[in-house]
Amino acid sequence: MEEFLHSEFFEWVEKAVALIRTYEGDKITVVHHNDADGICSAALLSKVCEYLGFKSEFICIEKVYPALIERIHRDRDGMIIYTDLAGLAAEMIDRINAGKSRVLIIDHHPAKDIESDTVHVLDPELAGISGDIFVSASSLNYIFFRVLAGKDAMDYAYIAVLGSVGDYHDRSGGVLGFDRFALSEAIEKDQVKVKLEGVRERYYIEKFGEYADVIAQYLTTLGAVGYERRGYRLGIKACFDGFDERTLKMVSELEELKERKFEEMIERLKKGELKQEKYTQWFHVRDFFSPMGVKTVGEFCQLIKDMSFVNDSKYLVGFQDKPKSIPDIGEIEWNCVKMSGRIPTSLERRVLRGEMPGLDYLVPKASETVGGFADATHKIAAATIIDKGKEEDFIKAFERLVEDYEATRS
Ligand SMILES: [Mn+2]
């Protein structure tokens, strides 16, 4: 621990710890992401609440949509902790919260700090430390817990390792930085053994009798594929109790379900449901992917983008209905669809050379024309949310934008 004592980052953690220590209410609401890192973060925060004697409520969401934030803050007060998401949403949360609750955002994604008396951001990105490489949300929550509770927190170090691996922080051969600090404590406590496979480290977790990458995949399946069935709840529980037969059965059922739905959808697209425009090919899964979360349509596009039935010179766009009912929250007054875009490899080359426009240009612009907001855009992968019924207008706008881009180049 000593090596962190003098860092600026450590002072930030202490400030966050002071916020929870001085909280005078009796209940804390934890809003967390639905992937393995988010589930492990929630598990660690459940122990933080237990340690301090607070009651806790857990809300699992896929993204920080304003409508969800409004509902969460309308119906609750006291202290609300967001974790593994919301780093960039502090301003929006502050506006919606309007001074009502004490809010702490514990995230490792790119973040924006704000001046606020009630909303506070703890994020390594703000201290110049890459949250994508050196610290998962789980490791951050572990350090938060560790500073708060001292060595008592070490009993849960393995959960941080699980979360880091869930976010692929071992991709360079092993986890680094603050993730490695959590790993070293888990090793010290005999919770984890490092096995070297070639040039890659794997982390064997004694509690599960299994490697961290395997367990992290179970958690992701529970949280993402089983989102509408609240699979993440079983995931949080499994972090402490291990995977019982019922949970393992749910994992394998969900994996089969996903495979079956994906295969069926591919057949449907081959039989004509993949609509062809001049520059775009697109489809709509409606609610066929339920109970999987809306991230699924993106994963599906990624899977099929280079298959032989997909035209390799056209953009690939998929839509999925956003369910009206959000687990842990209830009915939300919205009527919208998630759009995901990907680019087949041969078109991707032309995009990267600048001959064709990227999705980071097309998707926000096309969304704007139909009044939507683009949530996450990169050159070769992008997503947005638009109103239901606007799908064809979106495609038309998308087509026009590509056409205009081509016209200005020739
Ligand atoms: Mn994460």
Of 171, 188, 211, the last residue of a domain is 211
Residue 244 resides in a domain:
no
Interatomic CA distance for residues 10 and 33, integer angstroms: 24
Q: Domain check: are 182 and 327 in the same one?
A: no
Q: Domain check: are 196 and 332 in the same one?
A: no
Residue 184 resides in a domain:
yes
Of 190, 211, 232, the last residue of a domain is 211
Q: What is the structure's pLDDT at 151?
A: 96
Q: Domain check: are 205 and 72 in the same one?
A: yes
Q: Calculate how far, in angstroms, residue 108's C-alpha sits from the geometric centre of ligand 1.
A: 7
Per-residue pLDDT tens over the stretch 8-37: 788 899 999 999 999 999 999 999 999 999
Q: How many structural domains comprise the chain?
A: 2
Task: Tell me the CATH number at 369.
Answer: 3.10.310.40
Q: β-strand 280-284 against 336-342: which pairing, if any?
A: unpaired
- List, in sequence order, every beta strand (DSSP E) within 70-214: 79-83, 102-106, 119-122, 192-197, 200-205, 210-211
Segments of the chain scoring below 50 in pLDDT: 5
Q: Calculate how far, in angstroms, residue 343's C-alpha sits from the geometric centre of ligand 1.
A: 25
The pTM of this model reads 0.92
Q: Domain check: are 195 and 303 in the same one?
A: no
Q: Calculate how far, in angstroms, residue 382's C-alpha sits from the geometric centre of ligand 1.
A: 19
Residue 363 resides in a domain:
yes
Q: Calculate how far, in angstroms, residue 409's C-alpha sits from the geometric centre of ligand 1.
A: 40
Instruction: Give ∠ CA 122-127-129 in degrees, rounded to 5.
Output: 100
- Whether 315 contacts 398, CB under 8 Å: yes
Residue 84 resides in a domain:
yes
Q: Ligand 1 is a single-atom ion; what residues have CB below 5 A from it?
A: 37, 84, 137, 167
Q: Domain check: are 282 and 155 in the same one?
A: no
Encoded tokens for 359: 């999705």
Residue 283 resides in a domain:
yes
Q: Domain check: are 194 and 318 in the same one?
A: no
Q: Calculate how far, in angstroms, residue 38's C-alpha sits from the geometric centre of ligand 1.
A: 6
Q: Domain check: are 8 and 147 in the same one?
A: yes
Q: Domain check: are 76 and 196 in the same one?
A: yes
Q: Domain check: are 399 and 312 in the same one?
A: yes
Q: Calculate how far, in angstroms, residue 148's C-alpha sits from the geometric centre of ligand 1.
A: 21
Q: Domain check: are 283 and 204 in the same one?
A: no
Instruction: Give ∠ CA 23-28-29 in degrees, rounded to 5.
Output: 140
Residue 377 resides in a domain:
yes
Interatomic CA distance for residues 378 and 210, integer angstroms: 35
Of 211, 233, 253, the last residue of a domain is 211
List Cβ<8 Å contacts ≥24 apart for 194-199.
Answer: 199/173
Q: β-strand 119-122 against 55-61: which pairing, if any?
A: unpaired
Note the helical H segments in 173-244. Answer: 177-188, 212-220, 231-241
Q: Calculate how far, in angstroms, residue 59's C-alpha sits from the geometric centre of ligand 1.
A: 16
Residue 23 resides in a domain:
yes
Interatomic CA distance for residues 145 and 48, integer angstroms: 6
Q: Domain check: are 169 and 318 in the same one?
A: no
Instruction: For tokens 């920080």, name the residue.
Output: 64
Q: Domain check: are 308 and 182 in the same one?
A: no
Task: Tell me the CATH number at 195.
Answer: 3.90.1640.30
Residue 227 resides in a domain:
no
Domain that holds residue 290: 274-409
SS3 384: strand
